[in-house]
Amino acid sequence: GATETSRRRLAASGGAGPGCDLGHTGPLCEWCVSDEQYFSRAERGCVDCPTTGRFGILAGVVVVLAGTGLVLYRVLARAEAWGRLRARLVIGESQVGFQPKFKILVSFYQVAATLGPVYGVRLHEDFTRWTDFIDAISFDLLGLTYPDACIGSMAERLLLAGLWPIASIMLGGAAIACYALAEWLLSGRADSLRREFVRATLRHLLYWAILVAYLVLPSVSRSIFKAKQCESFDINAFTGERRSYLVADLEVLCRSDDEMYRGLDAYFWAFFVLWPVLVPLVLLCLLLWIRRDVRALRVTRLSRACRFLWRDYNASCHYWELADLYRKLFLASLVLFIQTDDGSSKLLRLIVASVVSALFLTALALVKPFKRFDDFYLACTANLLLTCCFVLGTVVQI
């Protein structure tokens, strides 16, 4: 409409000036004039948006893989060789400890992936080509499958960012429930065992919900904070006048009198309460509920369903997973509350992140929460590397 056209003309004349290629505009010439294109850093220009059929193809692939996995599991579960292999895998996992190492590495990469978008540290392209795989470990499903600029308005992106994990939990829960129902019907067991099947299904549903929430919470929170992440640009070299735009959508001016910017507040605060506030609070309540069982080394139905949160730590430190989760939340998203107008090009976020990482590393070294020493050393190494990344990022920014 007329408002959108005026925004584009305003941004092009005030932020970019002459020098942008045809079809490019915006403060850094990284904004495509056409709504059917998005700016690709790999291509160094505007490219056409992929068709929406990509979502259908992705959903079909996921359904086929999930169905194939369930069928194979059902067939192999009856084979004796599978039983022996499964026993060996359980023994190998207990000896090596894959789960804590997986969580440590995922946590490291989820925070390291924010150096550019959150802290404004731009590395050379020759280096970032070797670190692109970090984006996959961030578990940002929308960012990995479809460009943000092609999804729609900023409000629509916030809705998708805040709701797709809930849809994943529901779809996974439906698949678990259907599998449990089919297994119970095919087993021919008496109705007296139905309650046990229901309890086992609920336990698997809770485990699945905890796993999804743990993996996506940092990336979802960072997507929500895109509604507040702004960056200012010089629009007049002689007067020093600057104008601040929303980094995720350069059509939005970061001003209280801007209608589009004020319209994002309701979405932001609703999803902020849902994800960075309520999700850790629910996990905290679960850990408080089972704390006596964990410390007494009693395995109950609820403690078994929550084992992803406490199994890797000493009984007295079963809460450590939540402390690490808050650390990731702060470094990956909550730090965006600092200098929301132009923080991605300032040093304060990097300094705060360096201090927080150093303090957490000190607490980790003093508490020693892990059961296994190799996990403890790996966690210390990962946090030390993160601290060095923030310190070096400060040097790069200077």
**Tens-place pLDDT, residues 370-394:** 999 999 999 999 999 999 989 988 8
- CA-to-CA dists, residue 386 to 215, 347, 353, 364, 365, angstroms: 19, 16, 9, 14, 15
**pLDDT of 178 above 50:** yes
Given the structure tokens 């964990």, which residue do they identify? 294
Q: Is residue 122 within 8 Å of 345, Cβ to Cβ?
A: no
pTM for the model: 0.82
Q: Round to whole Å and give the CA distance between 169 and 175.
A: 10
pLDDT at position 351 is: 92
Burial of 66 (0-12, 13-18, 19+ CB in 10 A): middle
Cα distance between residue 357 and residue 112, in whole Å: 12
Confidence grade of residue 395 (pLDDT, cut at 50, 70, 90): confident
Q: How far is the C-alpha of 162 from the C-alpha of 364, rounded, in Å? A: 31
Which residue carries 């499964």 as its tokens? 86
Residue 155: count other Cβ atoms within 10 Å of its Cβ.
16
| Percent residues over pLDDT 70 in the chain | 74
pLDDT in tens, 266-310: 999 999 999 999 999 999 999 999 999 999 988 899 999 999 999
pLDDT at 235 > cutoff 90: no
Assess contact for 117 and 135: CB atoms under 8 A: no
User: What is the pLDDT at residue 52?
Assistant: 66
What does the alpha-carbon distance between residue 307 and residue 370 come to, in Å, rounded to a whole number?
A: 14
Q: Would residue 92 be called left, alpha or beta, if left means φ above 0 and alpha means ψ between -120 and 50 degrees?
A: alpha
Mean pLDDT of 12-35: 64
The pLDDT, as a whole number, for residue 388 is: 93
The mean pLDDT of the chain is 80
Structure tokens at 328: 């990731």
